[in-house]
C-alpha cells in the first residue's frame, strides 16, 4: 500500500459561484441568484458584485429547494439536540479511536458541540486553513506578487565570464523571484489565477527594453547572460523536512522555489512530474522566449545570490500575479501543496522570520495567534499539511473559520473552500446528499491513517455554522471519508431545535 493516496480530487470542469455576503448577516440563495445552495437553473449563475470571488459553473440540474437566508435572525442549534444528532456519527468505528470535533456558531463564536476540542491531532491538508489566514493577514488579499527581470551583474560576478557572439562582454540580466509559482508559459490571462502573469509578456518587455538601450546602454548588445535570484530559495529548491521523496516523485508537490510555471509541472496533469528546480526551469523557458524575440542568451541560466543583485538595478520587465486573495482561494480549492508552502515562506519573509520551512510554520502560527486564534497544541511541520507530524486542534480550525466569517480581511478563505458535490476536493463527495450538495463548504484532509474535514455550512434553519472533524488513527480512508461526510450532511440537514 503506498504511503499516501491523492490529496486532491481532480479539478471540477464546472463549479458554482458561491458567495457568502456579510452585511448584518449572511444571505444565501440557490444558484439562480447567488449561493450556497443546490444549483437549480440554467443559464449559469452570475455572482453578486460583492464579494468578487471566483467560482465556476456546472450544467443545469433539476429544480430543487432554495436554501433559506442565513443570518443573525436564524436560530442557532440547541447544543443538546446537536449532540443527539451528531454524537452517534462521531462515534462511528470508521473514524477510529483518536478523533475530535467542534461545531460553533460562525457569527458569534459560541461553541455548540465540543468533542475533545483542544486535543491535538494530525490535520493533513486542513492545515492549509491556518496558512491561508496568515497569508491574508500578513500579506493582504489585494497585494500581488512580482516576477521581474533586472539589468546588472551580481556583485562579484565577472562581467565577461561568458563572451558574446562578437567576443565582447555579455551583460547580465537577472530573473528576480517574487513568490509567483503560478506563472503561465505564454501570455498572461487577466481572468485566470494560474497564468495571470505570463512569461511571454515578461519576455516581450525585456526584449523591448534591451532593444531600446534600457538605462544606459544595452541597445545592440550582442548577447546577455541570464541569472536567477530567488529570495525564497536562495541556494536552490527547498523541501520541508517531513516531506518524503515520494511526495514529489508522485506529483503531490514540487520542491519549493519562489518562481515557477504552473507550480513546476512538466505536463498539464494535476499529478504531473515536476521540474527538479522549478525556478531554473522558468528561467530556461524565459531564455527560449527571449531567443525567439531576437535576444541572444548565451550559456545556461544559473542561480545567483539574491543579496548580491545590485540595489536599484534597472528593471527591464515585470509581471504580477493575481491578488493574494485569489491565490489563497486557488490553494484551498485544489489543495495546492506547493502554493501553500510558498505562501508560508512569504509570510515568514514579511514577518522578519527566517525564510525557511521552519521559519514559515512559526510565522504562520504567530500570525493566526495575533488574530485571536487559540493555538495551544498547534505545532506545524510544514505549511501545507502534506508531511507527517503536524498537530492541530479542532478548536483552532473552527476559530479560523469563524474569524473568516466575521472579519472581511479573511473572507477569501471561506470563498476558496471546496463546495460539496461541485468543486475542488469535494467535487466527488456529498453530491448525492440533497441537504449538503452546494451547501457544505469545507477543506478536506487525507493522509494514510488521517482523515479530516473543516468548513462552514448553513443549517436547515438558516444559521451559519463552522465545524471541524479530525481523526488520525482511521482504519481505512474511504470509510473514514464517508463518516466525516455523514457528519457534515447531518449538520446541514439539522436545525437541531
Please answer whether residues 338 and 139 qualify as being in contact, where contact means their C-beta atoms are separated by less than 8 angstroms.
no
| Burial classification of residue 166, based on how many CB atoms lie within 10 Å of its CB (0-12 exposed, 13-18 middle, 19 or more buried) | exposed
DSSP SS3 for 28? coil
Distance, in Å, from the CA atom of 467 to the CA atom of 101, rounded to the nearest integer, reads: 7
- Nearest residue to 439 (alpha-carbon basis) of 39, 81, 52: 39
Q: Is 125 a catalytic residue?
A: yes
> What strands, in cross-sheet order, belong to the sheet with 441-447?
111-115, 99-105, 464-471, 450-458, 441-447
Distance, in Å, from the CA atom of 46 to the CA atom of 39, rounded to the nearest integer, reads: 12
DSSP H/E element including 287: helix 278-292
Distance, in Å, from the CA atom of 338 to the CA atom of 331, rounded to the nearest integer, reads: 9
- Nearest residue to 427 (alpha-carbon basis) of 20, 12, 4, 61: 12
DSSP SS3 for 148? strand
DSSP H/E element including 358: helix 357-370
Distance, in Å, from the CA atom of 149 to the CA atom of 178, rounded to the nearest integer, reads: 11
- Nearest residue to 198 (alpha-carbon basis) of 212, 208, 183, 209: 183
Distance, in Å, from the CA atom of 211 to the CA atom of 221, rounded to the nearest integer, reads: 8
- 100, 125, 137, 321: the active-site residue: 125
- Angstrom CA distances, 267 to 273, 275, 330, 350, 424, stand at 7, 10, 19, 32, 20
Q: Is 443 a catalytic residue?
A: no
Please answer whether residues 157 and 306 qualify as being in contact, where contact means their C-beta atoms are separated by less than 8 angstroms.
no
Please answer whether residues 420 and 437 qualify as being in contact, where contact means their C-beta atoms are separated by less than 8 angstroms.
yes
Distance, in Å, from the CA atom of 386 to the CA atom of 128, rounded to the nearest integer, reads: 9
- 137, 143, 209, 335: the active-site residue: 335
DSSP 422-458: TSGGGTTSSTT-TTTTTT-EEEEEEETTEEEEEEEEE
Q: Are strands 172-176 and 225-229 parallel, antiparallel or unpaired?
A: parallel
Query: Which residue reads 444549483 in cell numbers?
Result: 39
CA-based max dimension of the chain: 84
- 128, 351, 390, 425: the active-site residue: 128
Q: Is the peptide bond before 267 cis (omega within 30 degrees of 0)?
A: no
Q: Is 98 a catalytic residue?
A: no
Distance, in Å, from the CA atom of 456 to the CA atom of 120, rounded to the nearest integer, reads: 21
**Catalytic (active-site) positions:** 125, 128, 335
Amino acid at each position: 500500500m503506498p504511503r499516501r493516496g491523492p490529496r486532491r480530487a481532480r479539478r471540477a470542469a464546472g463549479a458554482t459561484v458561491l458567495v457568502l455576503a456579510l452585511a448584518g448577516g449572511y444571505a444565501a440563495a440557490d444558484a439562480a441568484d447567488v449561493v450556497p445552495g443546490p444549483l437549480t437553473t440554467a443559464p449559469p449563475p452570475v455572482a453578486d458584485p460583492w464579494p468578487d470571488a471566483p467560482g465556476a459553473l456546472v450544467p443545469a440540474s433539476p429544480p430543487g429547494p432554495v436554501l433559506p437566508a442565513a443570518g443573525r435572525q436564524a436560530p442557532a442549534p440547541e447544543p443538546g439536540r446537536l449532540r443527539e444528532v451528531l454524537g452517534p456519527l462521531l462515534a462511528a468505528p470508521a473514524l477510529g479511536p483518536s478523533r475530535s470535533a467542534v461545531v460553533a456558531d460562525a457569527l458569534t463564536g459560541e461553541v455548540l458541540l465540543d468533542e475533545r476540542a483542544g486535543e491535538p491531532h494530525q490535520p493533513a491538508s486542513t492545515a492549509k486553513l491556518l496558512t491561508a489566514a496568515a497569508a491574508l493577514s500578513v500579506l493582504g488579499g489585494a497585494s500581488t506578487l512580482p516576477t521581474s527581470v533586472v539589468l546588472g551583474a551580481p556583485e562579484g560576478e565577472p562581467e565577461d565570464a561568458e563572451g558574446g557572439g562578437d567576443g565582447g562582454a555579455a551583460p547580465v540580466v537577472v530573473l528576480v523571484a517574487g513568490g509567483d509559482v503560478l506563472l503561465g508559459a505564454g501570455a498572461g490571462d487577466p481572468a485566470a489565477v494560474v497564468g495571470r502573469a505570463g512569461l511571454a509578456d515578461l519576455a516581450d518587455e525585456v526584449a523591448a527594453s534591451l532593444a531600446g538601450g534600457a538605462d544606459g546602454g544595452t541597445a545592440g548588445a550582442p548577447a546577455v547572460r541570464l541569472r536567477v535570484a530567488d529570495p525564497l530559495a536562495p541556494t536552490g529548491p527547498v523541501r520541508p523536512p517531513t516531506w518524503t521523496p515520494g511526495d514529489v516523485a508522485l506529483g503531490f508537490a514540487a520542491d519549493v522555489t519562489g518562481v515557477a510555471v504552473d507550480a513546476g509541472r512538466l505536463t498539464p496533469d494535476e499529478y504531473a512530474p515536476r521540474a527538479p528546480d522549478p525556478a531554473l526551469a522558468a528561467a530556461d523557458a524565459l531564455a527560449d522566449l527571449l531567443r525567439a524575440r531576437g535576444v541572444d542568451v548565451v550559456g545556461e541560466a544559473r542561480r545567483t545570490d539574491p543579496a548580491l543583485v545590485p540595489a536599484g538595478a534597472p528593471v527591464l520587465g515585470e509581471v504580477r500575479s493575481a491578488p493574494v486573495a485569489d491565490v489563497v482561494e486557488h490553494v484551498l480549492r485544489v489543495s495546492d501543496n506547493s502554493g501553500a508552502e510558498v505562501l508560508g515562506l512569504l509570510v515568514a519573509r514579511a514577518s522578519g522570520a527566517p525564510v525557511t520551512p521552519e521559519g514559515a510554520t512559526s510565522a504562520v502560527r504567530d500570525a493566526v495567534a495575533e488574530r485571536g486564534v487559540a493555538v495551544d497544541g498547534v505545532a506545524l511541520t510544514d505549511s501545507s499539511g502534506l508531511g507527517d507530524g503536524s498537530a492541530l486542534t479542532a478548536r483552532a480550525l473552527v476559530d479560523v473559520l469563524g474569524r473568516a466569517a466575521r472579519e472581511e480581511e479573511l473572507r477569501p478563505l471561506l470563498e476558496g473552500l471546496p463546495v460539496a458535490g461541485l468543486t475542488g476536493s469535494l467535487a466527488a463527495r456529498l453530491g448525492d446528499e440533497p441537504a449538503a450538495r452546494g451547501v457544505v463548504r469545507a477543506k478536506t484532509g487525507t493522509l494514510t491513517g488521517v482523515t479530516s474535514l473543516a468548513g462552514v455550512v448553513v443549517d436547515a434553519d438558516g444559521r451559519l455554522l463552522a465545524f471541524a472533524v479530525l481523526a488520525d488513527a482511521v482504519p481505512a480512508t474511504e470509510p473514514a471519508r464517508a463518516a466525516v461526510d455523514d457528519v457534515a450532511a447531518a449538520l446541514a440537514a439539522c436545525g437541531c431545535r
